[in-house]
Amino acid sequence: MSGARWLDVRNPRTGENDYRIAVADEAEVAAAATRLRAAQPDWAARPVEQRIAVLRRWVEAVGRHGDGLLQALVTDTGRSFVSRAEIAGLGATVERWSRLAPDILAEPLQESTTPGIDYRIQLVPIPLVGAISPWNFPLTLSLIDAVPALVAGCAVLVKPSEVTPRFVAPLEAALGEVPELDSVFAFVRGDGATGAALIRHVDAVCFTGSVATGRKVAAAAAARFIPAFLELGGKDPMVILASADVKQAAETALRASVSVTGQACQSIERVYVSHAIYDEFVAELVAAAERVELNWPDIHAGHIGPLIFAKQAATIRSQLEDAVARGARIRCGGVVEEHGGGLWIRPTVVTEVDHGMALMREETFGPVIPVMPFDSVDEAVALANDSEFGLSAAVLAGTLDEAEQVGRRIEAGAVSLNDGALTSLFYEAEKDSFKSSGLGGSRMGPAGMRRFLRRRALIRQQNAPASIESVDERRGCP
């Protein structure tokens, strides 16, 4: 580690750099990849039940390191409830894939329409999958692709965000207690340079992060002809029809926008409301937003934590300033506050907005809710679709059928009907990212594991193979 490049890590509750990581260079990434590759064939050769049993032992080992993991994650993110939920989610993720795996990995003999020929599709795991993850859900998003890839028989190398790297040490300690898994699963710490190096040494890359970085990852993967699965940013719209229950709609819009301080790709970032209920909705929303408390000074009280990434505060400030300069009105919140060295912003409702504002076009990644009225459903759909992003969306209406009719017209990979941001809770439904929000197969549902399996068709001839005479030009038409 001597001569390593070091990175300071900021604590989001104090603003102090109280941790640092040694950045893995190309040689370290290459060495990790070589080690994992060497062990992968044995891992893939095990029956899936054995791989699952090994992963379950790791979950138990993580439990033994639970206190350290929780402390690290809480320090990384400045929030307690969500950190506990992330940790609880690990066991649930392993169990979900364990339930799905036997069906996904089955290789039945298949009949064909050609007499005498049947076939079997052998599923061949990609040897080494790389995962590059962001800072907003450090644990969940570093493992969301790793678990199905490991169950499928791949080895996995993860490069978590340099903004929130503390949680990695307790996970590694738990890995050390399960040597079978340790040989095929590893983390490398570092920034974008380490991520770029990782792409040079893996056979497929799963990337979760911004559109700007996603473009670089896609180009690097294309240059190597390896698959890239990109889960990128969003500017998710919520459409609220005149028939919706106004109070409920305000509560739902608030929760779906400001949970986790709006630092989620599936956060609602634009709300379009029927003129018929607009004034009432805005009043309810502002009243509900003003009841939201920061989890400061007590991390165990309040609803939202600090901004994890200090640079995000500048983005939020600049989008709000631009909107106000163009005529927007801030109804509540709107100020980045400093408490104890950390940066915080209360739920911010903004009206008199239009699509000329960066606030309505670019990802905000904060607890900001711009609200715009519409006259007709066609106008609402056009506004929702007027975006470079197409990650997810939401529609609220008096009935699910009415909501679904509108939801079917929205250019997004997942639409929550009579709720918002359901993709944060529900992983079973396959979905694609539309437009600039991503590329590659669905991470959700069974496709999330199938992405890591190449198909080898084993085509079986039961009859005597044809001879060269079968293509003799003197033969008539077949």
**Active-site annotation, residues:** 231, 265
Cβ 406 to ligand NAD, closest distance in Å? 23
**Radius of gyration of the chain measured on its C-alpha atoms:** 25
Alpha carbon separation from 216 to 23, 267, 286 (Å, rounded)? 20, 24, 40
- Contact assessment for residue 266 and residue 244, using Cβ atoms and an 8 Å cutoff: no
191 binds ligand NAD (CB under 6 A): yes
What is the C-alpha separation between 249 and 273, in angstroms, rounded? Answer: 10
Q: With CB under 6 A as the contact rule, which of the stretches 54-62, 72-80, 131-139, 410-418 interacts with ligand NAD? A: 131-139
Cβ atoms of residues 267 and 365 within 8 Å: yes
Which among 241, 266, 278, 268 is positioned nearest to 401, based on CA atoms?
A: 241
232 contacts ligand NAD (rule: CB under 6 A) = yes
Candidates 216, 255, 317, 326; binder of ligand NAD (CB under 6 A) is 216
Residue with Cβ nearer ligand NAD (183 or 210): 210
Question: What mask of x and - would describe binding to ligand NAD in positions 382 to 411, judged by CB under 6 A?
Answer: ---------x--------------------
Select the span of 122-130, 181-189, 232-240, 463-471 touching ligand NAD (CB under 6 A): 232-240
Stretch that binds ligand NAD, among 20-28, 158-166, 404-412, 447-455 (CB under 6 A): 158-166
Q: Tell me how far apart the alpha carbons of residues 142 and 418 are, in angstroms, rounded to a whole number.
A: 30
Residues 6+ apart with CB under 8 A from 324: 330
Say what angle helices 66-77 and 48-64 make with each other, to 10 degrees: 80
Work out which of 77, 83, 136, 351 binds ligand NAD, going by CB under 6 A: 136
413 binds ligand NAD (CB under 6 A): no
Asked if 152 is part of the footprint of ligand NAD (rule: CB under 6 A), the reply reads no
Residue number with CB closer to ligand NAD (97 or 374): 97
Q: Please, how many CA atoms are within 13 Å of residue 258, restricted to the half-sphere of its CB?
A: 32
Q: Tell which positions 352-381 bind ligand NAD, by CB under 6 A.
A: 363, 365
Note whether 130 and 204 are within 8 A (CB): yes
Among 210, 315, 385, 405, binds ligand NAD (CB under 6 A): 210
Report phi then psi at 259, rounded to 5: -55, 150
Residue (of 225, 223, 205) closest to 214 by Cα position: 205
Chosen residue from 76, 162, 269, 402 binding ligand NAD by CB under 6 A:
162
Q: For residue 304, what is the DSSP state? A: B
Q: Decide whether 83 or 208 has the Cβ nearer to ligand NAD.
A: 208
Q: Does 306 bind ligand NAD (CB under 6 A)?
A: no
Q: Decide whether 280 or 411 has the Cβ nearer to ligand NAD.
A: 411
Q: How far is the CB of 364 from ligand NAD (least distance, A)?
A: 10
> Tokens 């379009």 sit at which residue?
272
Calpha distance 359→124 (Å, rounded) = 45
Spatial contact of 245 and 343, defined as CB atoms under 8 Å apart = no
Q: Please, which residue, 259 or 351, has the CB nearer to ligand NAD?
A: 259
First to last CA, the chain: 69
Kindly state the DSSP code that residue 357 receives in the 8-state scheme.
S
Smallest distance, ligand NAD to C-beta of residue 371, A? 21
C-beta of 318: minimal distance to ligand NAD in Å?
Answer: 16
> From CA 206, how far away is CA 76, in angstroms rounded?
22
Is 76 a binder of ligand NAD (CB under 6 A)? no
Does the protein bind ligand NAD through residue 134 (CB under 6 A)? yes
Answer for which of 153, 170, 227, 233 binds ligand NAD (CB under 6 A) is 233
Q: What three-state secondary structure class fits 420?
A: coil
| Interface residue list for ligand NAD (CB under 6 A) | 132-136, 141, 159, 161-162, 191-192, 195-196, 208-210, 213, 216-217, 231-234, 265, 363, 365, 391, 438
